[in-house]
Structure 1
Amino acid sequence: MSNKFVGTGVALVTPFNSDLTIDHEALTNIVNYNIDNGTDYLVICGTTGESVTLNKQEKKDVVETISKANNGRLPLVLGIGGNNTMAVLEEIKTTDLSNIDAILSVSPYYSKPTQEGIYQHFKAIAETSPIDIILYNVPGRTSKNVDVDTTLRLANDFDNVIAVKEAGNNMAQYLELIKDKPEDFLIISGDDDLALGVTLAGGSGVISVIGQAFPKEFSSMIRFGLKGESSEAYKLHYKLMDVVNYIFEENNPAGIKAVFEALNLCNDSVRLPLVPASNGLKSKIKDFVNAF
Protein backbone atom coordinates (compact mmCIF):
# COMPACT_ATOMS: atom_id res chain seq x y z
CA MET A 1 0.00 0.00 0.00
CA SER A 2 2.66 2.50 1.03
CA ASN A 3 4.85 1.68 -2.02
CA LYS A 4 3.15 4.56 -3.79
CA PHE A 5 5.27 6.87 -1.61
CA VAL A 6 8.62 5.40 -2.61
CA GLY A 7 10.50 7.77 -4.90
CA THR A 8 10.08 11.51 -5.37
CA GLY A 9 7.20 13.44 -3.91
CA VAL A 10 7.15 17.21 -4.29
CA ALA A 11 5.89 19.79 -1.80
CA LEU A 12 3.96 21.96 -4.23
CA VAL A 13 4.05 25.74 -4.02
CA THR A 14 0.84 27.77 -4.08
CA PRO A 15 1.39 30.29 -6.89
CA PHE A 16 -0.11 33.75 -6.39
CA ASN A 17 -1.10 36.47 -8.80
CA SER A 18 0.45 39.90 -8.23
CA ASP A 19 -2.60 40.82 -6.07
CA LEU A 20 -1.84 37.69 -3.94
CA THR A 21 -4.95 35.78 -4.99
CA ILE A 22 -4.22 32.15 -5.97
CA ASP A 23 -3.04 31.65 -9.54
CA HIS A 24 -4.92 28.45 -10.38
CA GLU A 25 -3.72 28.40 -13.98
CA ALA A 26 -0.06 28.41 -12.90
CA LEU A 27 -0.84 25.73 -10.31
CA THR A 28 -2.38 23.51 -13.01
CA ASN A 29 0.70 24.04 -15.21
CA ILE A 30 3.08 23.12 -12.37
CA VAL A 31 1.12 19.91 -11.66
CA ASN A 32 1.26 18.88 -15.33
CA TYR A 33 4.95 19.81 -15.58
CA ASN A 34 5.70 17.47 -12.65
CA ILE A 35 3.55 14.61 -13.90
CA ASP A 36 5.10 14.85 -17.38
CA ASN A 37 8.64 14.82 -15.99
CA GLY A 38 8.72 11.86 -13.62
CA THR A 39 7.54 13.02 -10.19
CA ASP A 40 6.00 10.09 -8.27
CA TYR A 41 3.49 11.84 -5.98
CA LEU A 42 2.27 15.33 -5.06
CA VAL A 43 2.10 16.94 -1.63
CA ILE A 44 -0.50 19.69 -1.18
CA CYS A 45 -0.63 22.47 1.43
CA GLY A 46 2.64 21.79 3.18
CA THR A 47 5.01 24.49 4.43
CA THR A 48 6.16 25.14 0.86
CA GLY A 49 2.51 25.64 -0.15
CA GLU A 50 2.29 28.50 2.38
CA SER A 51 -0.56 26.64 4.04
CA VAL A 52 -0.42 28.81 7.17
CA THR A 53 -1.47 31.87 5.15
CA LEU A 54 -4.26 30.16 3.18
CA ASN A 55 -7.79 30.33 4.55
CA LYS A 56 -10.11 27.32 4.66
CA GLN A 57 -11.79 28.09 1.33
CA GLU A 58 -8.47 28.71 -0.43
CA LYS A 59 -7.13 25.36 0.81
CA LYS A 60 -10.25 23.69 -0.56
CA ASP A 61 -9.79 25.46 -3.90
CA VAL A 62 -6.12 24.45 -4.09
CA VAL A 63 -6.99 20.79 -3.43
CA GLU A 64 -9.69 20.97 -6.09
CA THR A 65 -7.40 22.50 -8.72
CA ILE A 66 -4.63 19.97 -8.07
CA SER A 67 -7.06 17.01 -8.00
CA LYS A 68 -8.61 18.13 -11.28
CA ALA A 69 -5.24 18.66 -13.00
CA ASN A 70 -3.89 15.39 -11.62
CA ASN A 71 -7.00 13.47 -12.70
CA GLY A 72 -6.03 10.36 -10.73
CA ARG A 73 -2.60 10.06 -12.33
CA LEU A 74 -0.40 10.38 -9.21
CA PRO A 75 -1.03 9.74 -5.50
CA LEU A 76 -1.91 12.90 -3.53
CA VAL A 77 -0.84 13.78 0.01
CA LEU A 78 -2.55 16.59 1.92
CA GLY A 79 -0.97 18.54 4.76
CA ILE A 80 -3.23 18.62 7.83
CA GLY A 81 -1.39 19.43 11.02
CA GLY A 82 -0.98 21.93 13.80
CA ASN A 83 -0.43 22.44 17.49
CA ASN A 84 -4.11 22.36 18.48
CA THR A 85 -4.88 18.64 18.45
CA MET A 86 -8.67 19.14 18.62
CA ALA A 87 -8.58 21.52 15.64
CA VAL A 88 -6.47 19.04 13.62
CA LEU A 89 -8.96 16.23 14.34
CA GLU A 90 -11.84 18.52 13.34
CA GLU A 91 -10.10 19.41 10.08
CA ILE A 92 -9.54 15.72 9.28
CA LYS A 93 -13.22 14.97 9.95
CA THR A 94 -14.54 17.88 7.87
CA THR A 95 -12.17 17.66 4.88
CA ASP A 96 -13.18 15.74 1.77
CA LEU A 97 -10.41 13.15 1.55
CA SER A 98 -11.93 11.12 -1.28
CA ASN A 99 -9.11 12.03 -3.73
CA ILE A 100 -6.36 11.99 -1.10
CA ASP A 101 -4.06 9.00 -0.49
CA ALA A 102 -2.43 10.12 2.77
CA ILE A 103 -2.23 12.99 5.26
CA LEU A 104 1.10 14.65 6.02
CA SER A 105 0.92 15.86 9.61
CA VAL A 106 3.58 18.05 11.20
CA SER A 107 4.48 17.56 14.84
CA PRO A 108 3.04 20.28 17.10
CA TYR A 109 5.00 23.55 16.85
CA TYR A 110 5.26 26.43 19.33
CA SER A 111 3.72 24.50 22.25
CA LYS A 112 6.90 22.42 22.76
CA PRO A 113 5.21 19.26 24.11
CA THR A 114 7.18 16.38 25.65
CA GLN A 115 7.76 13.21 23.61
CA GLU A 116 4.72 11.71 25.36
CA GLY A 117 2.67 14.74 24.28
CA ILE A 118 3.84 14.30 20.68
CA TYR A 119 2.95 10.60 20.84
CA GLN A 120 -0.54 11.32 22.23
CA HIS A 121 -1.14 14.01 19.57
CA PHE A 122 -0.35 11.58 16.75
CA LYS A 123 -2.21 8.74 18.48
CA ALA A 124 -5.37 10.90 18.38
CA ILE A 125 -4.75 11.64 14.69
CA ALA A 126 -4.14 7.96 13.87
CA GLU A 127 -7.37 6.98 15.60
CA THR A 128 -9.35 9.66 13.74
CA SER A 129 -7.92 9.56 10.22
CA PRO A 130 -9.73 7.38 7.66
CA ILE A 131 -6.58 7.33 5.49
CA ASP A 132 -2.83 6.74 5.92
CA ILE A 133 -0.63 9.19 7.80
CA ILE A 134 2.90 10.41 7.09
CA LEU A 135 4.44 11.94 10.21
CA TYR A 136 6.43 15.13 9.62
CA ASN A 137 9.40 16.01 11.82
CA VAL A 138 10.92 19.44 11.10
CA PRO A 139 12.54 20.65 14.33
CA GLY A 140 13.90 23.80 12.67
CA ARG A 141 10.29 24.98 12.32
CA THR A 142 8.62 23.33 15.31
CA SER A 143 11.45 23.91 17.83
CA LYS A 144 11.05 20.32 19.05
CA ASN A 145 12.61 17.17 17.61
CA VAL A 146 10.49 14.03 17.37
CA ASP A 147 12.89 11.49 18.85
CA VAL A 148 13.60 8.22 17.05
CA ASP A 149 11.89 6.26 19.84
CA THR A 150 8.69 8.30 19.48
CA THR A 151 8.56 7.84 15.69
CA LEU A 152 9.18 4.09 15.97
CA ARG A 153 6.61 3.74 18.76
CA LEU A 154 3.99 5.34 16.50
CA ALA A 155 5.12 3.22 13.53
CA ASN A 156 4.73 0.04 15.58
CA ASP A 157 1.46 0.98 17.30
CA PHE A 158 -0.63 2.20 14.34
CA ASP A 159 -1.03 0.46 10.98
CA ASN A 160 -2.09 3.69 9.28
CA VAL A 161 1.10 5.52 10.34
CA ILE A 162 3.05 4.42 7.28
CA ALA A 163 5.98 6.83 7.00
CA VAL A 164 7.87 9.77 8.43
CA LYS A 165 9.05 12.79 6.48
CA GLU A 166 12.20 13.49 8.45
CA ALA A 167 13.58 17.01 8.00
CA GLY A 168 15.96 17.59 10.89
CA ASN A 169 18.99 17.68 8.57
CA ASN A 170 20.50 15.10 10.94
CA MET A 171 22.08 12.12 9.16
CA ALA A 172 22.63 10.21 12.41
CA GLN A 173 18.90 10.35 13.18
CA TYR A 174 18.03 9.17 9.65
CA LEU A 175 20.35 6.19 10.02
CA GLU A 176 18.93 5.22 13.41
CA LEU A 177 15.41 5.32 11.96
CA ILE A 178 16.41 3.24 8.92
CA LYS A 179 18.23 0.72 11.13
CA ASP A 180 15.35 0.12 13.57
CA LYS A 181 12.16 0.79 11.61
CA PRO A 182 9.44 -1.83 10.99
CA GLU A 183 9.97 -3.46 7.60
CA ASP A 184 7.18 -1.69 5.70
CA PHE A 185 7.61 1.74 7.35
CA LEU A 186 9.05 4.42 5.04
CA ILE A 187 11.77 6.88 5.98
CA ILE A 188 11.32 9.81 3.60
CA SER A 189 13.87 12.60 3.40
CA GLY A 190 12.56 16.13 3.85
CA ASP A 191 16.03 17.57 3.26
CA ASP A 192 16.86 18.10 -0.41
CA ASP A 193 20.60 18.22 0.30
CA LEU A 194 20.57 14.85 2.12
CA ALA A 195 17.92 13.09 0.02
CA LEU A 196 20.33 11.01 -2.06
CA GLY A 197 22.45 9.93 0.91
CA VAL A 198 19.32 8.94 2.84
CA THR A 199 17.96 6.99 -0.14
CA LEU A 200 21.26 5.13 -0.67
CA ALA A 201 21.30 4.27 3.05
CA GLY A 202 17.93 2.53 2.79
CA GLY A 203 15.45 5.42 2.88
CA SER A 204 12.42 5.53 0.59
CA GLY A 205 13.15 8.72 -1.31
CA VAL A 206 12.14 12.30 -0.69
CA ILE A 207 9.44 14.90 -0.36
CA SER A 208 11.31 17.63 -2.17
CA VAL A 209 11.10 21.38 -2.69
CA ILE A 210 13.56 21.72 -5.60
CA GLY A 211 12.25 18.53 -7.23
CA GLN A 212 9.17 20.37 -8.52
CA ALA A 213 11.36 22.76 -10.55
CA PHE A 214 13.72 20.09 -11.94
CA PRO A 215 11.50 17.00 -11.75
CA LYS A 216 13.22 15.04 -14.50
CA GLU A 217 16.71 15.30 -12.98
CA PHE A 218 15.66 15.04 -9.34
CA SER A 219 13.39 12.02 -9.75
CA SER A 220 16.05 10.30 -11.90
CA MET A 221 18.61 10.90 -9.15
CA ILE A 222 16.32 9.30 -6.57
CA ARG A 223 15.56 6.35 -8.88
CA PHE A 224 19.28 5.71 -9.28
CA GLY A 225 19.61 5.98 -5.48
CA LEU A 226 16.86 3.43 -4.89
CA LYS A 227 18.67 1.02 -7.22
CA GLY A 228 21.98 1.66 -5.43
CA GLU A 229 23.53 3.18 -8.56
CA SER A 230 25.44 5.82 -6.66
CA SER A 231 27.80 7.14 -9.34
CA GLU A 232 24.95 7.92 -11.76
CA ALA A 233 22.94 9.42 -8.91
CA TYR A 234 25.75 11.64 -7.66
CA LYS A 235 26.29 13.11 -11.14
CA LEU A 236 22.77 14.53 -10.88
CA HIS A 237 23.22 15.47 -7.21
CA TYR A 238 26.25 17.63 -8.06
CA LYS A 239 24.45 19.19 -11.01
CA LEU A 240 21.65 20.37 -8.69
CA MET A 241 23.70 21.10 -5.58
CA ASP A 242 24.10 24.87 -6.04
CA VAL A 243 20.42 25.53 -6.66
CA VAL A 244 19.42 23.44 -3.63
CA ASN A 245 21.58 25.75 -1.52
CA TYR A 246 20.19 28.87 -3.20
CA ILE A 247 16.51 28.10 -2.58
CA PHE A 248 16.99 27.82 1.18
CA GLU A 249 19.36 30.78 1.47
CA GLU A 250 16.64 33.26 2.50
CA ASN A 251 13.33 31.50 3.05
CA ASN A 252 11.20 28.75 1.64
CA PRO A 253 9.19 29.13 -0.63
CA ALA A 254 10.56 32.51 -1.79
CA GLY A 255 13.59 30.69 -3.23
CA ILE A 256 11.69 28.03 -5.15
CA LYS A 257 9.24 30.65 -6.46
CA ALA A 258 12.22 32.64 -7.79
CA VAL A 259 13.25 29.45 -9.65
CA PHE A 260 9.74 29.08 -11.06
CA GLU A 261 9.77 32.72 -12.15
CA ALA A 262 13.06 32.08 -14.00
CA LEU A 263 11.39 29.04 -15.61
CA ASN A 264 8.30 31.15 -16.52
CA LEU A 265 5.99 28.83 -14.57
CA CYS A 266 4.72 31.37 -12.01
CA ASN A 267 5.72 34.71 -10.52
CA ASP A 268 7.66 35.08 -7.28
CA SER A 269 4.86 36.53 -5.09
CA VAL A 270 4.64 35.23 -1.51
CA ARG A 271 2.35 36.31 1.32
CA LEU A 272 3.54 38.22 4.36
CA PRO A 273 5.31 37.68 6.67
CA LEU A 274 7.39 36.16 3.86
CA VAL A 275 8.91 38.45 1.25
CA PRO A 276 10.20 37.59 -2.23
CA ALA A 277 13.83 36.62 -2.76
CA SER A 278 16.30 39.50 -2.83
CA ASN A 279 17.58 40.75 -6.19
CA GLY A 280 21.01 39.26 -5.45
CA LEU A 281 19.57 35.81 -4.86
CA LYS A 282 17.23 36.08 -7.85
CA SER A 283 20.12 36.88 -10.14
CA LYS A 284 22.11 33.83 -8.91
CA ILE A 285 19.02 31.67 -9.47
CA LYS A 286 18.41 33.11 -12.94
CA ASP A 287 22.03 32.47 -13.93
CA PHE A 288 21.76 28.86 -12.71
CA VAL A 289 18.51 28.23 -14.60
CA ASN A 290 19.87 29.80 -17.81
CA ALA A 291 23.02 27.68 -17.63
CA PHE A 292 21.26 24.42 -16.63
Structure 2
Amino acid sequence: MNLRNILGGTGVAIVTPFNEDFSVDYDALGNFCDHLINNGVNYLVVLGTTGETPTLSKQEKIDIINYTIERVNGRVPVVVGVGGNSTQNVIEDLKVMPLEKATAVLSTAPYYNKPSQEGLYQHYKAVSEASPKPVILYNVPGRTGKNMEPSTTLRLAELPNVGGIKEASNNFAQSIHLLSHRPADFLVVSGDDDLAMPQVAAGMDGVISVAANAFPKEFSTMVNHALNNNAKDAAKINIDLFESFLLMFAENNPAGVKAFLSHQGLIKNYLRLPLVPLSQPIDEKVQAFLKK
Protein backbone atom coordinates (compact mmCIF):
# COMPACT_ATOMS: atom_id res chain seq x y z
CA MET A 1 0.00 0.00 0.00
CA ASN A 2 1.41 3.38 -1.04
CA LEU A 3 0.52 5.64 1.88
CA ARG A 4 1.61 8.73 -0.06
CA ASN A 5 -1.51 8.30 -2.18
CA ILE A 6 -3.77 8.02 0.88
CA LEU A 7 -2.37 10.08 3.75
CA GLY A 8 -1.25 13.33 2.16
CA GLY A 9 -2.28 16.68 3.57
CA THR A 10 -3.41 17.28 7.14
CA GLY A 11 -3.81 14.50 9.66
CA VAL A 12 -4.91 15.37 13.17
CA ALA A 13 -3.62 13.65 16.30
CA ILE A 14 -6.96 13.93 18.05
CA VAL A 15 -7.49 14.60 21.74
CA THR A 16 -9.48 12.29 24.01
CA PRO A 17 -12.28 14.31 25.64
CA PHE A 18 -13.08 13.44 29.25
CA ASN A 19 -16.08 14.04 31.49
CA GLU A 20 -15.86 15.59 34.94
CA ASP A 21 -15.39 12.11 36.42
CA PHE A 22 -12.52 11.53 33.93
CA SER A 23 -14.42 8.91 31.97
CA VAL A 24 -14.16 9.15 28.17
CA ASP A 25 -16.71 11.62 26.79
CA TYR A 26 -17.83 9.70 23.71
CA ASP A 27 -20.49 12.24 22.74
CA ALA A 28 -17.85 14.97 22.59
CA LEU A 29 -15.45 12.66 20.76
CA GLY A 30 -18.01 11.87 18.08
CA ASN A 31 -19.02 15.50 17.60
CA PHE A 32 -15.36 16.49 17.49
CA CYS A 33 -14.58 13.94 14.77
CA ASP A 34 -17.46 15.39 12.72
CA HIS A 35 -16.16 18.91 13.33
CA LEU A 36 -12.66 18.06 12.10
CA ILE A 37 -13.90 16.26 8.99
CA ASN A 38 -16.38 19.03 8.15
CA ASN A 39 -13.54 21.55 8.34
CA GLY A 40 -11.37 19.82 5.76
CA VAL A 41 -8.81 17.64 7.49
CA ASN A 42 -7.63 14.69 5.42
CA TYR A 43 -7.41 11.98 8.07
CA LEU A 44 -7.59 11.33 11.80
CA VAL A 45 -4.96 9.79 14.07
CA VAL A 46 -6.44 8.19 17.16
CA LEU A 47 -4.48 7.12 20.28
CA GLY A 48 -1.49 9.33 19.73
CA THR A 49 0.23 11.02 22.66
CA THR A 50 -2.20 13.93 22.22
CA GLY A 51 -4.95 11.44 23.07
CA GLU A 52 -3.36 10.85 26.51
CA THR A 53 -2.83 7.17 25.70
CA PRO A 54 -0.46 6.55 28.64
CA THR A 55 -3.47 7.10 30.92
CA LEU A 56 -5.96 4.94 28.97
CA SER A 57 -6.66 1.32 29.82
CA LYS A 58 -6.37 -1.32 27.10
CA GLN A 59 -10.16 -1.69 27.02
CA GLU A 60 -10.61 2.07 26.68
CA LYS A 61 -8.19 2.07 23.75
CA ILE A 62 -10.15 -0.71 22.03
CA ASP A 63 -13.44 1.10 22.67
CA ILE A 64 -12.07 4.42 21.36
CA ILE A 65 -10.79 2.79 18.16
CA ASN A 66 -14.13 1.07 17.53
CA TYR A 67 -16.13 4.19 18.31
CA THR A 68 -13.99 6.50 16.17
CA ILE A 69 -13.94 4.20 13.14
CA GLU A 70 -17.71 3.71 13.35
CA ARG A 71 -18.34 7.45 13.70
CA VAL A 72 -16.01 8.35 10.83
CA ASN A 73 -17.72 5.71 8.68
CA GLY A 74 -15.19 5.84 5.87
CA ARG A 75 -15.36 9.59 5.32
CA VAL A 76 -11.60 9.93 5.90
CA PRO A 77 -8.83 7.42 6.69
CA VAL A 78 -8.15 6.58 10.33
CA VAL A 79 -4.63 5.86 11.60
CA VAL A 80 -4.26 4.15 14.97
CA GLY A 81 -1.40 4.72 17.41
CA VAL A 82 0.11 1.47 18.69
CA GLY A 83 3.50 1.94 20.28
CA GLY A 84 5.57 1.50 23.42
CA ASN A 85 8.98 0.77 24.83
CA SER A 86 8.53 -2.99 25.03
CA THR A 87 8.65 -4.57 21.60
CA GLN A 88 6.81 -7.67 22.76
CA ASN A 89 4.02 -5.61 24.35
CA VAL A 90 3.55 -3.67 21.12
CA ILE A 91 3.30 -6.93 19.19
CA GLU A 92 0.71 -8.22 21.68
CA ASP A 93 -1.29 -4.98 21.32
CA LEU A 94 -1.27 -5.34 17.55
CA LYS A 95 -2.94 -8.74 17.99
CA VAL A 96 -5.85 -7.43 20.08
CA MET A 97 -6.48 -3.94 18.73
CA PRO A 98 -9.38 -3.71 16.24
CA LEU A 99 -7.37 -2.58 13.23
CA GLU A 100 -9.39 -4.16 10.42
CA LYS A 101 -10.75 -0.83 9.14
CA ALA A 102 -7.70 1.26 10.02
CA THR A 103 -5.51 2.55 7.20
CA ALA A 104 -2.20 2.34 9.04
CA VAL A 105 -0.53 2.10 12.43
CA LEU A 106 1.51 4.98 13.85
CA SER A 107 4.13 3.58 16.21
CA THR A 108 6.30 5.80 18.37
CA ALA A 109 9.96 5.01 18.83
CA PRO A 110 10.64 3.37 22.21
CA TYR A 111 10.88 5.92 25.00
CA TYR A 112 12.96 6.09 28.18
CA ASN A 113 15.05 2.98 27.53
CA LYS A 114 16.91 4.78 24.67
CA PRO A 115 17.91 1.88 22.40
CA SER A 116 20.82 2.13 19.97
CA GLN A 117 20.19 2.71 16.27
CA GLU A 118 20.42 -1.05 15.75
CA GLY A 119 17.94 -1.53 18.58
CA LEU A 120 15.53 0.91 16.93
CA TYR A 121 15.88 -0.96 13.65
CA GLN A 122 15.24 -4.35 15.22
CA HIS A 123 12.28 -3.00 17.22
CA TYR A 124 10.55 -1.60 14.16
CA LYS A 125 11.43 -4.62 12.05
CA ALA A 126 9.67 -6.88 14.58
CA VAL A 127 6.70 -4.51 14.85
CA SER A 128 6.30 -4.23 11.07
CA GLU A 129 6.38 -8.00 10.68
CA ALA A 130 3.64 -8.37 13.32
CA SER A 131 1.42 -5.51 12.13
CA PRO A 132 -1.64 -6.26 10.00
CA LYS A 133 -1.45 -2.71 8.62
CA PRO A 134 1.40 -0.59 7.21
CA VAL A 135 3.52 0.98 9.93
CA ILE A 136 4.30 4.68 10.10
CA LEU A 137 7.45 5.28 12.13
CA TYR A 138 7.32 8.11 14.66
CA ASN A 139 10.56 9.87 15.52
CA VAL A 140 10.02 12.25 18.43
CA PRO A 141 13.29 12.57 20.39
CA GLY A 142 11.87 15.34 22.57
CA ARG A 143 9.66 12.71 24.19
CA THR A 144 11.65 9.51 23.72
CA GLY A 145 15.10 10.83 24.60
CA LYS A 146 16.63 9.29 21.47
CA ASN A 147 16.81 10.56 17.91
CA MET A 148 16.28 8.04 15.14
CA GLU A 149 18.95 8.97 12.64
CA PRO A 150 18.08 9.28 8.94
CA SER A 151 20.25 6.28 8.09
CA THR A 152 18.11 4.11 10.38
CA THR A 153 14.86 5.49 8.96
CA LEU A 154 16.02 4.90 5.39
CA ARG A 155 17.09 1.38 6.24
CA LEU A 156 13.65 0.72 7.71
CA ALA A 157 12.00 2.27 4.65
CA GLU A 158 13.20 -0.71 2.64
CA LEU A 159 11.09 -3.12 4.71
CA PRO A 160 7.86 -4.18 2.97
CA ASN A 161 5.41 -3.15 5.72
CA VAL A 162 7.02 0.16 6.73
CA GLY A 163 5.12 2.83 4.84
CA GLY A 164 6.32 6.16 6.16
CA ILE A 165 7.47 8.34 9.03
CA LYS A 166 6.12 11.12 11.18
CA GLU A 167 9.31 13.13 11.63
CA ALA A 168 9.18 15.25 14.78
CA SER A 169 12.87 15.78 15.42
CA ASN A 170 12.44 19.56 15.00
CA ASN A 171 15.52 19.31 12.80
CA PHE A 172 14.98 20.81 9.36
CA ALA A 173 18.26 19.51 7.95
CA GLN A 174 17.39 15.98 9.02
CA SER A 175 14.04 16.32 7.26
CA ILE A 176 15.68 17.39 4.02
CA HIS A 177 18.06 14.43 4.22
CA LEU A 178 15.08 12.07 4.48
CA LEU A 179 13.33 13.73 1.56
CA SER A 180 16.47 13.53 -0.56
CA HIS A 181 16.99 9.81 -0.08
CA ARG A 182 13.59 8.24 0.60
CA PRO A 183 12.09 5.57 -1.66
CA ALA A 184 9.49 6.98 -4.04
CA ASP A 185 6.55 5.43 -2.19
CA PHE A 186 7.70 6.31 1.36
CA LEU A 187 5.45 8.80 3.18
CA VAL A 188 7.22 11.60 5.06
CA VAL A 189 5.06 13.90 7.18
CA SER A 190 5.89 16.59 9.69
CA GLY A 191 5.24 16.12 13.38
CA ASP A 192 6.25 19.66 14.33
CA ASP A 193 3.50 22.25 13.95
CA ASP A 194 5.98 25.12 14.10
CA LEU A 195 7.96 23.71 11.15
CA ALA A 196 5.16 22.07 9.19
CA MET A 197 4.57 24.81 6.62
CA PRO A 198 8.19 25.16 5.45
CA GLN A 199 8.71 21.39 5.66
CA VAL A 200 5.72 20.74 3.40
CA ALA A 201 6.86 23.49 1.06
CA ALA A 202 10.24 21.72 0.94
CA GLY A 203 8.70 18.41 -0.09
CA MET A 204 7.02 16.66 2.83
CA ASP A 205 3.69 15.01 2.07
CA GLY A 206 1.82 16.75 4.87
CA VAL A 207 1.59 16.78 8.65
CA ILE A 208 0.16 14.96 11.62
CA SER A 209 -0.78 17.98 13.67
CA VAL A 210 -1.78 18.91 17.20
CA ALA A 211 -2.73 22.49 16.34
CA ALA A 212 -5.19 21.33 13.68
CA ASN A 213 -7.41 20.11 16.52
CA ALA A 214 -8.14 23.76 17.29
CA PHE A 215 -7.77 25.25 13.80
CA PRO A 216 -8.68 22.48 11.32
CA LYS A 217 -9.86 24.71 8.50
CA GLU A 218 -7.01 27.20 8.73
CA PHE A 219 -4.32 24.57 9.19
CA SER A 220 -5.61 22.41 6.34
CA THR A 221 -5.77 25.44 4.06
CA MET A 222 -2.18 26.34 4.95
CA VAL A 223 -0.94 22.82 4.22
CA ASN A 224 -2.84 22.68 0.94
CA HIS A 225 -1.29 25.97 -0.14
CA ALA A 226 2.17 24.60 0.67
CA LEU A 227 1.48 21.38 -1.22
CA ASN A 228 0.35 23.42 -4.22
CA ASN A 229 3.50 25.58 -4.23
CA ASN A 230 1.61 28.62 -3.00
CA ALA A 231 4.17 29.59 -0.39
CA LYS A 232 3.00 33.19 -0.03
CA ASP A 233 -0.52 32.34 1.16
CA ALA A 234 0.74 29.40 3.22
CA ALA A 235 3.23 31.65 4.98
CA LYS A 236 0.55 34.21 5.84
CA ILE A 237 -1.58 31.61 7.61
CA ASN A 238 1.49 30.19 9.33
CA ILE A 239 2.34 33.62 10.71
CA ASP A 240 -1.25 34.16 11.87
CA LEU A 241 -1.29 30.83 13.72
CA PHE A 242 2.29 30.75 14.97
CA GLU A 243 1.64 32.19 18.43
CA SER A 244 -0.96 29.46 19.01
CA PHE A 245 1.67 26.79 18.29
CA LEU A 246 3.88 28.22 21.02
CA LEU A 247 1.01 28.45 23.50
CA MET A 248 -0.08 24.87 22.85
CA PHE A 249 3.30 23.55 23.90
CA ALA A 250 4.18 26.16 26.53
CA GLU A 251 3.56 23.70 29.38
CA ASN A 252 2.65 20.34 27.89
CA ASN A 253 0.61 18.62 25.23
CA PRO A 254 -2.36 18.15 25.27
CA ALA A 255 -3.03 20.63 28.10
CA GLY A 256 -2.41 23.47 25.66
CA VAL A 257 -4.67 22.31 22.86
CA LYS A 258 -7.38 21.23 25.31
CA ALA A 259 -7.42 24.78 26.68
CA PHE A 260 -8.01 26.10 23.15
CA LEU A 261 -10.74 23.53 22.50
CA SER A 262 -12.52 24.17 25.79
CA HIS A 263 -12.62 27.93 25.14
CA GLN A 264 -13.99 27.16 21.67
CA GLY A 265 -16.78 25.15 23.31
CA LEU A 266 -15.76 21.86 21.66
CA ILE A 267 -14.74 19.79 24.70
CA LYS A 268 -14.51 20.06 28.50
CA ASN A 269 -11.13 20.99 29.89
CA TYR A 270 -10.33 17.79 31.80
CA LEU A 271 -7.04 15.86 31.69
CA ARG A 272 -6.00 12.72 33.52
CA LEU A 273 -3.14 12.94 35.99
CA PRO A 274 -0.25 13.47 35.84
CA LEU A 275 -1.41 16.13 33.38
CA VAL A 276 -3.36 19.14 34.61
CA PRO A 277 -4.96 22.11 32.83
CA LEU A 278 -2.85 25.08 31.81
CA SER A 279 -1.78 27.55 34.47
CA GLN A 280 -3.85 30.73 34.61
CA PRO A 281 -1.24 33.04 33.02
CA ILE A 282 -0.88 30.82 29.94
CA ASP A 283 -4.62 30.20 29.77
CA GLU A 284 -5.24 33.94 29.72
CA LYS A 285 -2.87 34.21 26.73
CA VAL A 286 -4.85 31.46 24.99
CA GLN A 287 -8.08 33.40 25.53
CA ALA A 288 -6.46 36.59 24.28
CA PHE A 289 -5.23 34.83 21.13
CA LEU A 290 -8.71 33.45 20.41
CA LYS A 291 -10.25 36.89 20.86
CA LYS A 292 -7.91 38.20 18.14
Query: Scaled by the length of structure 1, what TM-score is found?
Result: 0.98
1:235 aligns with 2:236: yes
Q: What is the aligned partner in structure 2 of residue 143 from structure 1?
A: 145
Secondary structure, in 3 states, of the residue corresponding to 1:268?
coil
Runs of 4+ in 1 over 6 A off after TM superposition: none
Secondary structure, in 3 states, of the residue corresponding to 1:5?
coil
Query: Scaled by the length of structure 2, what TM-score is found?
Result: 0.98
Query: Residues of 2 paired with 1:9 and 1:124: CA distance?
Result: 26
Query: Residues of 1 paired with 2:281 and 2:26: CA distance?
Result: 29
Q: Percent of aligned pairs with the same residue?
A: 49
For residue 113 of structure 2, the aligned residue among 98, 102, 111 is 111
**Unpaired segments ≥5 residues, structure 1:** none
Q: What is the aligned partner in structure 2 of residue 42 from structure 1?
A: 44
Q: What is the aligned partner in structure 1 of residue 273 from structure 2?
A: 272
Query: Residues of 2 paired with 1:6 and 1:43: CA distance?
Result: 13
Q: Is the 8 A contact 2:65 2:98 kept in 1?
A: no
One-letter amino acid of the counterpart of residue 145, structure 1: N
Q: What is the aligned partner in structure 1 of residue 178 from structure 2?
A: 177
Secondary structure, in 3 states, of the residue corresponding to 1:91?
helix
**Unpaired segments ≥5 residues, structure 2:** none
Q: Is the 8 A contact 2:66 2:98 kept in 1?
A: no
Query: Residues of 2 paired with 1:222 and 1:160: CA distance?
Result: 27
Report the CA distance between 1:159 and its aligned residue: 2.2
Report the CA distance between 1:126 and its aligned residue: 1.1
1:198 aligns with 2:199: yes
Query: Residues of 1 paired with 2:288 and 2:262: CA distance?
Result: 12
Q: What is the aligned partner in structure 1 of residue 136 from structure 2?
A: 134
Report the CA distance between 1:99 and its aligned residue: 1.6
Query: Residues of 2 paired with 1:103 and 1:49: CA distance?
Result: 15
Q: Is the 8 A contact 2:192 2:209 kept in 1?
A: yes
CA deviation vs aligned residue, 1:142-189 (integer Å, no higher than 9, x gap) = 001001000000001x12211100111111111111111111111110
1:68 aligns with 2:70: yes
Query: Residues of 2 paired with 1:271 and 1:116: CA distance?
Result: 35
- Could you say what the CA RMSD is over the residues aligned between the two structures, in angstroms? 0.8
Query: Residues of 1 paired with 2:242 and 2:21: CA distance?
Result: 33
Report the CA distance between 1:65 and its aligned residue: 2.0
Query: Residues of 2 paired with 1:62 and 1:263: CA distance?
Result: 23
Q: What is the aligned partner in structure 2 of residue 31 from structure 1?
A: 33
Report the CA distance between 1:229 and its aligned residue: 0.6
Report the CA distance between 1:283 and its aligned residue: 1.3
